Amino acid sequence: MPERANQRIAYFNGRYVPEAEVRVPYRDRSFLYGDGCFDMTRTFNGRPFKVKEHIERFFRSLAYLRIDIGLSPGDVVEITHEVVRRNAHLLGAGDDFWVGQRVSRGVRAVGDEGWDHTGPNVVIDCTPLPFQTRAEHYRDGIRVIVPSVRRTPPSALSPRVKTHNYLNMIVAELEVHAQDPKAWAVLLDENGSLAEGMGSNIFIVKNGRLLTPQGRYVLEGVSRQTAIELARDLGIAVEERDLDLYDAYNADEVFLTSTSLCLCGVSQVNGARIGSGQVPGPITGKLLDAYSGLVGCDIAGQYLARLA
């Protein structure tokens, strides 16, 4: 199938092809078992943000899973940029992409046939960011609900690896969305401390200090690290420590970081209003402004422009 002007292009096992040609066999281990990993970045003004940092984390996940894709981090960085270049004409005014790198271990053959020696399946693609769907979070703040499901403990599987097996998070979100379809789930760890949500890290502001869960129990997001660096540049003290619901309910401000949202204020946790109810709060607002300055894009404005 030739490339078409209106069809997104993806990298698939060494070739750039129309997205419809990316076909992974049903015996692929990622489909069968979630045996694979991925990473995601986003663009600002059509340019990928912190690709090197995302790819470095991606290769740490590959090392944890012992998957060799036969490409260097530099190769994957260049392929990522090329995928964005080949799809840039599809971006409308004010639009941006999610850009993902995905790898499965490969195909498992039946019975005694052994392994398919074609090796891992590698996909690098992009999709439009959901600005309209998530715009109200910047207007009203995110409502967080903590589910009964606990985050998978490090003793079972390191949460620092970004695997294709998201069932722990998915089951948690199903529980939360049954209560409030627009709420975001933030799970507790095995000790009852705040951990993380699906693709999001949580921060608490108390007495001018920024607090966030320890890296051992969460995926240390690139957006999380960016928020920490921006806070330190602004002279805001940052501490990684155990936090529980008591800390959340008594916080002056709470916000989430994620690849798509970057940094967005939380208005409620389990129905409890956070601080004065102002979203974003003063420190969250300063960090959001600094984040927007860093990336050269009005992050909140990009979402708010899509409100009906």
Residue-level pLDDT at 196: 97
Angle at CA of residue 137, ends 135 and 166, nearest 5°: 100
pLDDT at position 2 over 70? no
CA distance 270 to 256: 15
Of 85, 112, 129, the residue at which a domain comes to its end is 129
| Contact present, 165 and 34 (Cβ < 8 Å) | yes
CATH number at residue 171: 3.20.10.10
CA distance 11 to 121: 11
Are 115 and 247 part of one and the same domain? Answer: no
Are 148 and 269 part of one and the same domain? Answer: yes
What average pLDDT does this structure show over 1-15? 81
CATH number at residue 37: 3.30.470.10
Alpha-carbon distance values, 21 to 2, 13, 16, 25, 181 (Å): 10, 11, 10, 12, 33
Q: What percent of the chain is modeled with pLDDT above 70?
A: 95
Residue-level pLDDT at 152: 94
pLDDT at position 298 over 90? yes
Q: How many structural domains are present in the chain? A: 2
pTM tops 0.85: yes
Expressed as residue numbers, the domain containing 70 is 9-129
Of 129, 148, 181, the residue at which a domain comes to its end is 129
Of 97, 129, 161, the residue at which a domain comes to its end is 129
Q: What are phi and psi of 151, to 5 degrees?
A: -65, 140
CA distance 203 to 284: 10
Are 153 and 246 part of one and the same domain? Answer: yes
Q: Per-residue pLDDT tens for 25-61?
A: 988 999 999 999 999 999 999 999 999 999 999 999 9
Q: Per-residue pLDDT tens for 207-240?
A: 999 999 998 899 999 999 999 999 999 999 999 9
Are 41 and 165 part of one and the same domain? Answer: no
Residue-level pLDDT at 277: 87
Is 227 part of a structural domain of the chain?
A: yes
| Contact present, 230 and 294 (Cβ < 8 Å) | yes
